[in-house]
Chain A
């Protein structure tokens, strides 16, 4: 348990993705079975201990501690499991610390009613970090910034196998994954993925910076502004995956239920109504659902979702990825004809005479759901990742507005010493500034240094990590769209705002008004 606790703490305090992968890989290599398998399941979110719910932990705490002192401590620490772990007396039993598998076995073999007592006995055998790891393990939610895909990547790195191979067998296996480790260590053949639906890496596009392409070689499609999604189905089971390869089936169960094909397709998850110019807040609703394991019927009804298909990777068991786009497109249209049209359609090809004509069509498109245009080589196979010269994304021209910097916050990573995140506002009709967005990109390193100095020299108030600045600097902000928002005091929200220019020449009074932003609504 101590090694697992050290891993969890290491992951909490490490910010670099590569270092996190290395920490997990090291742990998986040196830890014996079945402890490492349970740990892998805990990190990948596939471990479920039915006997322990967070209420059990609260019950255990209230039995041991004065409720008022516990509540004050909980309020301060902000996390029930950590509060209990810290308040609990150190290794009061004097017994040896339990192993991870001992913990799992004990908790799995008890009843829900007995679970708090079993948990308390285990707590007595651990130090503070061990207790924290125990409670996190028992309740699920590790909250250490690890996705399932990252855990699998770490497994691949630990044993020198490709993450795609791990992905392929993953869903056929169950914790503690003994067969997976046996294969990783070269002791057995690769497990048979059997009848399981798994993730294949997406094909991605490069931005089309300047210049043009020949439409004889390239086909144009709309780039839809939803959530890129992959649907994989064996007929027996259907799974949905996000762009990063994390399973999101639970967040969009209606899509999985409606999908009656067998194969693997690539598309964009959108909200019905959007496409005909409905409310644009729906993108936020999709984002919120993405993070959930389950969604309510009310959420499904409020924002009816469907998938606009771009491509087909497998038709039945037939791998189409090596075929040219034109051939796959034909197969996709045939495949989609058998799907429920309420939930699935095919993204239309844009008919344009030539590139100039396409540019005109693109410039005229101001629909909220359109992010730009995709250009795909007609003979391109479906390849993992970004490959030069095959697919391009050509986003539409941004809108711009002159805004006034209001607050600044320090950035993270290599920008951690600089005030690099800026909240900016526009004027109301009665002459007040209200925030309309926040941006942390678009400027050069030299401009960042200048902005950082501006913030430090013009601070009027501090709120923790945030500084309020003198309302004197005009920033030209570029954004993809602006729409109505009930969540912002100004009533408007920008999509993908970034700083396009510093307008040091412009007086703050001459910055744009919120009314001007409203005039840019789609």
Chain B
């Protein structure tokens, strides 16, 4: 299910010389594009740096540590709790206390070394510290300092207000290793207040039925609930069973979510006029057929594109994302002005092109397994 294209042109991702052969893999589900540099080319440029990008994670060589590795590693630094960044089975883990709590909830026994925001430690001659990324509860950017050079790995981040997590803090750096999930100029996330107003208006117009909102169980669901509360909606909010523990975890971390009731097993009559939050995977499943005349909503940055919403049978698209949109991505680059930008995942080619247009040195990495549709 992939196609390989030969491009005889300037490399959009890294600005390397003409006529390099790039393999462009297009997966049918995410349609995400990875630009893979020729093996020889990777080793030539990457060997010179103390941080090595690999397909399965970012390797911090002097410390012998991996950042968000997708395979079990002896020492792992984890930016946040989403499954594509935080995997189980590592030897030692360093992460924020919130992220460790999320990993413990998801994987059971795992423990690690908590590193609160603004704090750090030294290992193998590398100074490592964690800083808020504003993506979900506990999400962090990781600052690595070594040999007089400062490297920031953003993980996933956003710059918008979010009542459920600590806001992003810009960290000055020489090399910025950034995400680009929504790295295309078509992605502008509208103010969340407008989207919440759309949701509340749809509820008003459908008091005999219910609105079921598809939202990823970690982060998005709690943010939608908290924003509904901020907009003055204080009725009970109904949740899918799979979300209960994560909502409890948020509440235990001082993120008040108001009264939440499990929707599973309730009679249709009890759910009339309700807002129900469910993981996207449950939306088209039999679970949703028990709801009274549900209107299907989905909270995701992808909802900006009409066909994306239609493909998923969404009737009420809510453009709500926990990732930086195009403006946030590019404004952050202009604000930090790193001497080099590495783009880990997402629309790496387009953000790379933008860097080229703005005379910022950039290169696309080929990290795999990132970007779960439903989280964005």
Contact = CB atoms under 8 A, between A and B. Distances in A.
A76 B357 CA distance: 20
Count class of interface residues, chain B? 20 to 34
Given A86-B304, A417-B288, A72 B316 contact: no
A209 interface: no
Interface string A72-94: 11001111001100110010000
Interface stretch (B84-92, B112-120, B180-188): B180-188
Contacts of B1: 463
Which of B304, B306, B349 has its CB near the most chain A CB atoms (within 10 A)? B306
A399 interface: no
B12 interface: yes
Nearest to A79: B307
Contact of B310 (A12, A69, A73, A76): A12
B289 interface: yes
B194 to A, nearest CB: 10
B314 interface: yes
B285 interface: yes
A69 B349 CA distance: 9
Contact of A13 (B188, B314, B349): B314
A435 B184 CA distance: 38
B353 A416 contact: no
A431 B185 CA distance: 50
Given A13-B309, A13-B310, A69-B353, A417 B186 contact: no
Contact of A72 (B309, B315, B347): B347
A470 B279 CA distance: 28
B87 to A, nearest CB: 20
B31 interface: yes
A68 interface: yes
B251 interface: no
Contacts of A15: 313, 315
Interface in B289-332: 289, 304-307, 309-310, 313-317
B321 to A, nearest CB: 14
A521 interface: no
Contacts of A65: 185
A73 B313 contact: no
A63 interface: no
A333 B347 CA distance: 66
B305 A72 contact: no
Contacts of A69: 184-185, 350, 353-354, 357
A23 to B, nearest CB: 12
B28 A464 contact: yes
Contacts of B286: 417
A162 interface: no
B30 to A, nearest CB: 10
B306 A417 contact: no
A210 interface: no
B339 interface: no
A417 B350 CA distance: 36
B28 A66 contact: no
B289 A417 contact: yes
B318 to A, nearest CB: 12
A464 B29 CA distance: 5
Given A13-B309, A82-B306, A463-B28, A73 B315 contact: no
A77 B347 CA distance: 13
A87 B185 contact: yes
Given A82-B305, A87-B186, A417-B286, A14 B315 contact: yes
Nearest to A413: B313
A509 to B, nearest CB: 28
Contacts of A9: 306
Nearest to B350: A72
Given A15-B313, A76-B186, A66 B357 contact: yes
Contacts of B354: 69
Contacts of B264: none
A514 to B, nearest CB: 25
Given A13-B314, A69-B354, A72-B350, A77 B305 contact: yes
Interface in A90-109: 90
Contacts of B184: 69, 72-73, 76
A463 B185 CA distance: 28
Contacts of B285: 417
Interface string A219-230: 000000000000
Contacts of B43: none
A243 to B, nearest CB: 26
Contacts of A76: 31, 184, 186, 305, 347
A464 B28 CA distance: 6
A128 B190 CA distance: 10
Counting chain B CB atoms within 10 Å of each CB, which of A68, A78, A132 scores highest?
Answer: A68
A66 to B, nearest CB: 6
B284 A416 contact: yes
A464 B26 CA distance: 13
A483 interface: no
Contacts of B304: 86
A74 to B, nearest CB: 9
Interface of A: 9, 12-15, 65-66, 68-69, 72-73, 76-79, 82-83, 86-87, 90, 128, 132, 410, 412, 416-417, 463-464
5 contacts: A13-B310, A13-B314, A69-B353, A82-B306, A86-B185
Given A13-B309, A463-B1, 10 more contacts: A15-B313, A66-B353, A66-B357, A72-B353, A78-B307, A79-B306, A79-B307, A86-B187, A90-B188, A464-B29
Interface of B: 1, 12, 28-29, 31, 184-188, 284-286, 288-289, 304-307, 309-310, 313-317, 347, 349-350, 353-354, 357
Q: Which 7 A-B pairs have the closest CB atoms?
A: A86-B186, A72-B350, A417-B286, A464-B28, A87-B185, A73-B186, A13-B315
